[in-house]
Amino acid sequence: MHKGSCLCGAIRFEVEGELSPPTACHCTKCRKHTGHFEAGTDVPRSAVTMTGEDKLTWFQSSEIVRRGFCSVCGSSLFFDVIPADRLGISMGVFDTPTNTKLSMHIFVADKGDYYDIADGLPQNQQ
């Protein structure tokens, strides 16, 4: 069981089962939503239980993607591709060890000019 929460603790969640290897997304929207690139894992929706959902606010960032954040503290928590049966969760909001390692970088064509990617992991332009 993997547990996580927002910064203020108003939203708490648990994920049952293994986490998929996270990816780092450098697209402009992820950078603006998190303040830097976003590292996240995708899990089946059925594996997630949550408390404090009344504090969860969704921002529709495109026709098929919405981003979930805490309405109290502003923590970026979730990335939701609406037609998919999986939910993206930001790695930084887990309270317990994830037992994962970053697997790759995506949308590196959009990355900020203030940092380099030098960890040797695969990099996809899109």
Q: Which helix (H) or strand (E) holds 29?
A: helix 28-34
Token pair for 102: 């970053």
* Average pLDDT value over all residues in the chain: 96
Residue 92 or 82, more confident? 92
Q: Give the count of beta carbons closer than 10 Å to the beta carbon of residue 50.
A: 17
Q: Specify the pLDDT at position 82.
A: 87
Buried b (16+ CB within 10 A) or exposed e, 4-28: bbbeeebbbbbbeeebeebbbbbbe
Q: Specify the pLDDT at position 62.
A: 92
Q: Specify the pLDDT at position 2.
A: 97
d(CA 20, CA 101): 9
Domain boundaries defined on the chain: 2-19+38-97
Query: For a pLDDT cut of 70, what percent of the chain falls above it?
Result: 100
d(CA 39, CA 106): 10
Question: Given a cut of 90, is residue 83 above it in pLDDT?
Answer: no
C-alpha closest to that of 32 among 63, 64, 62: 62
DSSP state of 13: E
d(CA 10, CA 104): 31
For the segment 32-60, the average pLDDT, to the nearest whole number, is 96
pLDDT in tens, 85-116: 999 999 999 999 999 999 999 999 999 999 99
CATH class of 2-19+38-97: mainly beta
Question: Given a cut of 90, is residue 29 above it in pLDDT?
Answer: yes
Query: For a pLDDT cut of 90, what percent of the chain falls above it?
Result: 97
For the segment 51-66, the average pLDDT, to the nearest whole number, is 96
Q: Give the count of beta carbons closer than 10 Å to the beta carbon of residue 90.
A: 24
For the segment 107-126, the average pLDDT, to the nearest whole number, is 96
